[in-house]
Amino acid sequence: MLNEEAVQSIVREVVAKLQLSDETETGKGIFTDMNEAIAAAKKAQAVLRRMSMDQREKIISAIRQKTLANAETLARMGVDETGMGNVGHKILKHRLVAEKTPGTEDIQTVAWSGDRGLTLVEMGPFGVIGAITPCTNPSETILCNSIGMIAGGNTVVFNPHPAAIRTSNFAVRLINEASIEAGGPENVACSLVKPTLQSSEVMMKHKDIPLIVATGGPGVVTAVLSSGRRGIGAGAGNPPALVDETADIRKAAEDIVNGCTFDNNLPCIAEKEVVAVDSIADELMHYMLTEQGCYLASKEEQERLIQTVLTPKGLNRKCVGRSAKVLLGMIGVDVPDSIRCIIFEGEKEHPLIATELMMPILGIVRAKDFDDAVEKAVWLEHGNRHSAHIHSKNVDNITKYAKAIDTAILVKNGPSYAAIGFGGEGFCTFTIASRTGEGLTSAATFTKRRRCVMSDSLCIR
Ligand code: NAD
């Protein structure tokens, strides 16, 4: 008879083997060589191109269903593999991708008709898109990109972040299973067993890749924009949440902490710091501490956090996407599970405030008045033009802030995730093209405009 421990050990061994084979296995869109992956995606695109919009929509609908059915598996896999984020929130993110990423309905034709005939602007596919994806939202980005890109009539080759390759490739396999089950071709989305910087270079230089979509930090966006190809760059942010004296302060505290702690602050749109007008700053912090599960870090604890989460080379990857409890544990502070965010007051130059941390650490910068708050928030956003948030009932103040900070996203009086359709109107995306200006990407972003002109006919007005 096997005892409990022996059974557990066998289970662990089998799971480890399964995971290994998962990581090294090819097929269902996974290749060992970038050139082969691009060739397969090109073949699949030729098939997709001949299919009707209705057939395309069937593939997308199957991807949505697979995403919903596997939301928990993908969420657990992402947290297990990367050590980052929160399973419950990742389940919600996958559901959001399945339910609110636009499909073919996003592709609208523009028409002019008159005495000289009929002219249409149709939105056609680029062909095979090269996509580079982050480790912070790995499968969310792959599934969301694929829905939009396939809706536009493209296929896609991914060079995912190596730290999230198992989760990313699991998503790629699901996409191909969905395509085949819906009557589409295999390899509508492709990836590599072992993506590297070299394989992404091959992708960026390949003659069959007319468009590259990069979602990640400043390095990858710069690399893509220097590639000589058309590039869509969804880069880093450092979103400030500004709170003025007209806001509902209690609600602002709740919204900000909810947004900041969502998936342990991994989303690029999440509140990374607060700028509060002096007259309400104490009240805001009071609600955060008494009602929103925040922990006030002392000067000495802030110093230990700086030593722990920042390294001379940048962020300590072991801290990114970790919970407040885990981060505090790393500096020797034990707190109850109810603590979900670390707060403190500091100058805007404080390293835990000025740096995009992607951790539930929220510095609060005090401003003497609204104009001073705007100036500080603009400085903190570092010209990324990515995301910013405001809590205010004064439309003049909101307008002034919106113009000054000039970001792709500006959420008013809500948590940051309202921007991607979670508790807010509008569609979902996990690729926000801040640097190149497309903003929140969707199927239409992944198409090229083509003018079709019928001269002197087909106007029936
Ligand atoms: P990262 O920049 O480390 O990696 C992103 C991807 O780029 C990975 O696939 C990585 O392998 C690749 N990469 C990095 N440098 C490269 C180079 N020089 N050439 C080619 N490929 C390169 O980012 P991450 O840690 O995975 O994700 C977090 C960062 O991404 C944050 O800065 C966050 O704000 C940003 N982000 C932005 C968006 C958006 O929509 N704008 C969405 C998610 C994440």
Question: The CATH number of the domain where 59 resides is what?
Answer: 3.40.605.10
Residues 231, 218 within the same domain: yes
* In a shared domain, residues 93 and 28: yes
Helix boundaries (H) for 192-339: 197-205, 218-225, 249-261, 278-291, 299-309, 324-330
Q: Identify the CA nearest to 213 among candidates 238, 235, 236.
A: 235
Residue 12: its pLDDT value, please?
Answer: 46
* 298 and 159, same domain (yes or no): no
Mean pLDDT of 369-385: 98
Report CA dihedral (417, 386, 200, 355) to the nearest 10 degrees.
-90
Say if ligand 1 is within 6 A of residue 217 CB: yes
Does residue 457 sit within a domain?
Answer: no
The answer to whether residue 116 is domain-embedded is yes
- Has residue 433 been placed in a domain? no
Where in 68-179 does DSSP place strands (E)? 110-114, 117-125, 128-133, 155-160
Give the pTM: 0.94
Atom of ligand 1 nearest to the CA of 430: 40
Q: What is the CATH number of the domain that holds 311?
A: 3.40.309.10
Residues 304 and 156 in one domain: no
**Residue owning the nearest CA to atom 24 of ligand 1:** 134
For the chain, what is the domain count?
2
Mean pLDDT computed over every residue of the chain: 95
Could you tell me if 293 and 251 lie in one domain? Answer: yes
Q: How high is the pLDDT of residue 24? A: 72
Closest atom, ligand 1, to C-alpha of 434: 41
Q: Is the CB of 364 under 6 A from ligand 1?
A: no
Q: Would you place residue 210 in the very low, low, confident or very high pLDDT band (cuts 50, 70, 90)?
A: very high
In a domain, 17, yes or no: yes
Residue 431 lies in a domain: no
Residue 98 lies in a domain: yes
Answer yes or no: is pLDDT of 2 > 70. Answer: no
- What pLDDT does residue 99 have? 98
Question: Is 169 in the same domain as 270?
Answer: no
Domain that holds residue 201: 4-235+439-451
In this predicted structure, what is the pLDDT of residue 390?
98
Residue 359 lies in a domain: yes
Q: Is residue 436 lining ligand 1, measured as CB closer than 6 Å?
A: no
Least confident piece of the model among 6-15, 282-291, 445-454: 6-15
Give yes or no for residue 216 CB within 6 A of ligand 1: yes
Atom index in ligand 1 nearest the CA of residue 200 equals 20
- Position 14 pLDDT exceeds 70: no
Same domain, 325 and 180: no
Banded pLDDT at 16 (limits 50, 70, 90)? very low
- Residue 110 sits in the same domain as residue 48: yes
For tokens 């500004």, what's the residue?
242
Helix axes 53-69, 87-100, angle to 10 degrees: 160
pLDDT band at residue 25 under the 50/70/90 scheme: confident
379 and 343 share one domain: yes
- d(Cα 217, Cα 96) in Å, to the nearest integer? 23
Residues 280 and 379 both lie in one domain: yes
Other beta carbons within 10 angstroms of residue 111's beta carbon come to: 10
Q: Which residue is closest in CA terms to ligand 1's atom 33?
A: 236
**Whole-number pLDDT of residue 208:** 98
The torsion angles phi and psi of 410, rounded to 5 degrees, stand at -140, 110
pLDDT digits (tens, 9 = 90+) for 407-431: 999 999 999 999 999 989 999 999 9
Tell whether 83 is covered by a domain: yes
Same domain, 418 and 315: yes
Q: Does one domain contain both 203 and 254?
A: no
pLDDT tens figures, 277-330: 999 999 999 999 999 999 999 999 999 999 999 999 999 999 999 999 999 999
